[in-house]
Structure 1
């Protein structure tokens, strides 16, 4: 039930419901992660909330009411009951990259729910991963089946796992955002979600129990999300990670501020030029998408905070920067100077800025013990997709 889910999957479902008959809509039972506060706030308003889209030209407020139940994540009985309900056809999962790492409780929780569904003979269901990981559906499937142990075969018979690419910048909400909604709508909505006008959802996989027709809201169903994953990870997400490091080192707070810095914008463009060579999409399509991306990064009214992006940065950098660097080496190409600079800047940020989380602090200590001349090579050679130094 996090902000991204409410600005993205729940928003797309609302687009479907807006076009459906009175009895043909879809409803969402949304669960929080670790804390109950979001469920408590949303329940006070029967699951209805405001999406505030902020562009350089102005604000637009829309009402979303596709969430029909808001449930604290600790309510295990409700979790199992919802997944055992034959009317439930889709489980979307938005838990950030860290939720797929070793030690995360997420795969086990999903496995428990799918076993309860199998016990109830409730029919097939699609599990849709909505996090920034290559092959996110497959990664989630493997983690869930491992967590299920001897019950893995029953889960395979019950659930399909769908790969996706999701994209919509959703910064943390501030008191000023709540005030803006109040002025636009006359309503006081503490569950407001702030986002940009741009949104993208690309899906590949089977929906054996059916699904909302998200294509009505602009989603795309394709045979393979791979090239679109790479486009997002290697361009948008890599640009975010670089600017989060470089921008904070220069004292900036948001992506728009950092991208407005002439030097940092030039470094970002150079990084994009290097990284786009790893993306197997037509040149014209990439050019158009990068044109949109420049507008998005420069949007001064989306306060996408650099410290928010810096959280769990080793996992993110492994996927966004190290992976395409390794691909260049495997193809017999030299690592581009812009990629080296981005990694060096990230390493500097680890060592010179306050850590955002304990896992990042641990990686910073390990890198700090390596001789300075060997640090970038150590990251390229040994940073794992789980964000640890092997």
Structure 2
């Protein structure tokens, strides 16, 4: 069996690519990083190390790579022959891989189904990728392609810390992972993927992960940076940070269990597991990296504004509002979104910048509370 995975980065090699290989697939990674692609073709394997006290490791064999920038024809041909196509390139990069996927799908043998799964930290990633692919197909080709190509949405969760190794292919990941795939978008037989969970309705799993793992991470990053911390570990050693984190996740828990009728006891077990993952000293990450892309993280459907607004008619989401205020202070010059956010604040003031980023109306009760916290943090 053949798998094509777009994105030979940390998640691609340490998570999705590893599962594909363990599930019996020969994996072709498609990327534009010359060093990584050349090394994949040279070695045909790489090592994955578990980020805990055991330092257990395993080798992912039978892999190769294609540089889609230098050889888009070969990349499309690989898609045309694949039994499954996956991607972990980042939400903003999906439009750039779509042309190659569209060409590859249009060249596939008639009647041979395939599933294309976007493994991104976003809601509806495969839906978005399908929309981008359709832009590069004629109406006739689109009808034929989508009749045999499924785009099931998925939710993924695995923390990969910042790391440096002598071998650029070696990757260290946490032991825990979750890959949930929605069956309604599948075409043909359900693929065999070791450790993946297939469900009829993905939405509760996506939102549970987004509003627990990602919201929690954002709380640690933005509030930790305000106190001068540089890493997740430093922030998690501060009882005040943990108290605020627990408050944030209590608020998102109220939102989630109310919206999806989740079992409250089971959800609390999940929340505790997530907090323990943050405590793992082997996967401590830099807070500036965790907090990057603040405009996306403040946007209306994302990890901070979405639950805060959803709760506001029932309870005052104090901890989420404090975290939103802290996000307005995120000022990392290497991050284009942070630079843009600070320019908006400088030009129009924090309330107007907040409205532009999140949709929270300037002058509203929520906006006034957030700006109050923002001013207190100065």
> TM-score higher than 0.5 here?
yes
Q: Does structure 1 residue 213 correspond to structure 2 residue 192?
A: yes
Question: Structure 1-normalised TM-score?
Answer: 0.81
- Find the counterpart in structure 2 of residue 106 from structure 1: 97
SS in 2 for 1:162: coil
- Find the counterpart in structure 2 of residue 182 from structure 1: none
Q: Give the superposition deviation at 1:7.
A: 1.5
Q: Give the superposition deviation at 1:147.
A: 4.2
Distance in 1 between residues matched to 2:55 and 2:63, nearest whole Å: 26
- Find the counterpart in structure 2 of residue 3 from structure 1: 10
Is there any run of 5+ residues in structure 1 with no aligned partner, and where? 17-24, 179-188, 384-390
Any idea what the Cα deviations from partners look like across 1:167-209, whole Å, max 9, x if unmatched?
Answer: 110123224xx5xxxxxxxxxx431111111111111125435
User: Are 2:14 and 2:172, in contact at CA under 8 Å, matched by a contact in 1?
Assistant: yes
Distance in 1 between residues matched to 2:351 and 2:192, nearest whole Å: 53
Q: Does structure 1 residue 50 correspond to structure 2 residue 28?
A: no
Distance in 2 between residues matched to 1:370 and 1:12, nearest whole Å: 48
Query: What is the aligned-residue RMSD (CA, Å)?
Result: 2.3
Distance in 2 between residues matched to 1:265 and 1:28, nearest whole Å: 40
Q: Does structure 1 residue 173 correspond to structure 2 residue 182?
A: no
- Find the counterpart in structure 1 of residue 308 from structure 2: 325
Distance change (3 Å), C-alpha of 1:200 and 1:96:
same
Residues 197-346 of structure 1: pairs in structure 2 closer than 5 A:
197-205=175-183, 206-210=185-189, 212-214=191-193, 217-279=194-256, 280=260, 281-318=262-299, 319-329=302-312, 332-346=313-327
User: Are 2:341 and 2:353, in contact at CA under 8 Å, matched by a contact in 1?
Assistant: no
Distance in 2 between residues matched to 1:149 and 1:337, nearest whole Å: 50
Q: Give the superposition deviation at 1:105.
A: 1.9
Q: Give the superposition deviation at 1:211.
A: 5.8
User: Are 1:241 and 1:313, in contact at CA under 8 Å, matched by a contact in 2?
Assistant: no
Distance change (3 Å), C-alpha of 1:91 and 1:335:
farther
User: Are 1:52 and 1:193, in contact at CA under 8 Å, matched by a contact in 2?
Assistant: yes
Any idea what the Cα deviations from partners look like across 1:72-115, whole Å, max 9, x if unmatched?
Answer: 23120111111222xx1211011112224xxx423333223322
SS in 1 for 2:285: coil
Q: Give the superposition deviation at 1:334.
A: 4.5
Any idea what the Cα deviations from partners look like across 1:346-365, whole Å, max 9, x if unmatched?
Answer: 0011xxx3233324422331
SS in 1 for 2:20: helix
Distance change (3 Å), C-alpha of 1:36 and 1:223:
same
- Find the counterpart in structure 2 of residue 21 from structure 1: none
Question: Structure 2-normalised TM-score?
Answer: 0.84
SS in 1 for 2:51: strand
Is there any run of 5+ residues in structure 2 with no aligned partner, and where? 1-7, 362-378
SS in 2 for 1:289: helix
User: Are 1:99 and 1:105, in contact at CA under 8 Å, matched by a contact in 2?
Assistant: yes
Any idea what the Cα deviations from partners look like across 1:45-80, whole Å, max 9, x if unmatched?
Answer: 11x11111112x331111111x52212231201111
Distance in 1 between residues matched to 2:89 and 2:168, nearest whole Å: 22
Residues 9-28 of structure 1: pairs in structure 2 closer than 5 A:
9-16=16-23, 25-28=24-27
Q: Give the superposition deviation at 1:304.
A: 2.0
Distance change (3 Å), C-alpha of 1:356 and 1:148:
farther
User: Are 1:145 and 1:155, in contact at CA under 8 Å, matched by a contact in 2?
Assistant: no
Q: Does structure 1 residue 89 correspond to structure 2 residue 68?
A: no
Q: Give the superposition deviation at 1:300.
A: 0.8
- Find the counterpart in structure 2 of residue 69 from structure 1: 64
Distance in 2 between residues matched to 1:163 and 1:7, nearest whole Å: 20
Count the aligned residue pairs.
345
SS in 2 for 1:320: coil
Q: Give the superposition deviation at 1:123.
A: 1.9
- Find the counterpart in structure 2 of residue 154 from structure 1: 144
- Find the counterpart in structure 1 of residue 372 from structure 2: none
User: Are 2:84 and 2:116, in contact at CA under 8 Å, matched by a contact in 1?
Assistant: yes
Distance in 2 between residues matched to 1:109 and 1:251, nearest whole Å: 44
- Find the counterpart in structure 2 of residue 183 from structure 1: none
Distance in 1 between residues matched to 2:73 and 2:196, nearest whole Å: 32
Q: Give the superposition deviation at 1:128.
A: 0.6
